[in-house]
Amino acid sequence: MLQIPCPWCGIRDESEFSYGGEAHITRPLNSENLTDEEWADYLFMRKNTRGAFLEQWQHAQGCRRWFNIQRDTVSYKISASYKVGEQPPQGMGNEK
């Protein structure tokens, strides 16, 4: 079981959280002008990185707030935890 650091509550067991997948996906503002391919890219295509990955969790059975962490998807080691709206760790921008 993962030990997940909630930025508000500290480290808690994974079973208190629910998963939200890839972080920093921005909803396109001009959706009426998008092609079907661009819309599909936003809706369905995912990074699914092998290695350092930025992802969203919700502390469903705690403070109920959403936040982001940086986790290695091979070793499962968590190296950063930050609030929604805050910048990801250095060099981990939301480039596609």
Partner 1 sequence: MNMSKYSIFSLAKQALNFHEGWGKVWRNPEPKKHYDVIIIGGGGHGLATAYYLAKNHGVTNVAVLEKGYIGGGNTGRNTTIVRSNYLWDESAHLYEKSMKLWENLSQDLNFNVMFSQRGVYNLGHSLQDMRDIQRRVNANRLNGIDGEIVDADELKRRIPILNTSRHSRYPVLGASFQPRGGTARHDAVAWGFARGADSLGVDIIQQCEVSGFIRENDRIAGVETNRGNIGAGKVGIVVAGNSSVLADLAGFRLPVTSHPLQALVSEPIKPVLNTVVMSNAVHGYISQSDKGDLVVGAGIDSYNGYGQRGSYTVIENALAAIKELFPVFSRVRMNRQWGGIVDTTPDACPIIGESPVKGVYINCGWGTGGFKATPGSGYVFAHTLAKDQPHELNQAFSLQRFSTGRLIDEHGAAGVAH
Q: Binding partner 1 by CB under 8 A: which of 40, 84, 86, 93?
A: 40
Query: Would you count residue 43 as binding partner 1 (CB under 8 A)?
Result: yes
Instruction: Return the number of the residue (20 or 47) whose C-beta is nearest Zn ion.
Output: 20
Residues that bind Zn ion (CB under 5 A): 6, 8-9, 59, 62-63
Query: Would you count residue 41 as binding partner 1 (CB under 8 A)?
Result: yes
Question: In whole angstroms, how close is the CB of 31 to partner 1 at the nearest point?
Answer: 14
Cβ contacts of residue 90 below 8 Å, gap of 6+?
A: none
Query: Would you count residue 36 as binding partner 1 (CB under 8 A)?
Result: yes
Q: The tokens of 26 are what?
A: 């921005």
Residues forming a β-bridge with 58 = 18, 66
Cβ contacts of residue 59 below 8 Å, gap of 6+?
A: 6, 8, 9, 12, 16, 17, 65, 67
Place of tokens 């986790």: 71
Query: Would you count residue 21 as binding partner 1 (CB under 8 A)?
Result: yes
Query: Would you count residue 47 as binding partner 1 (CB under 8 A)?
Result: yes
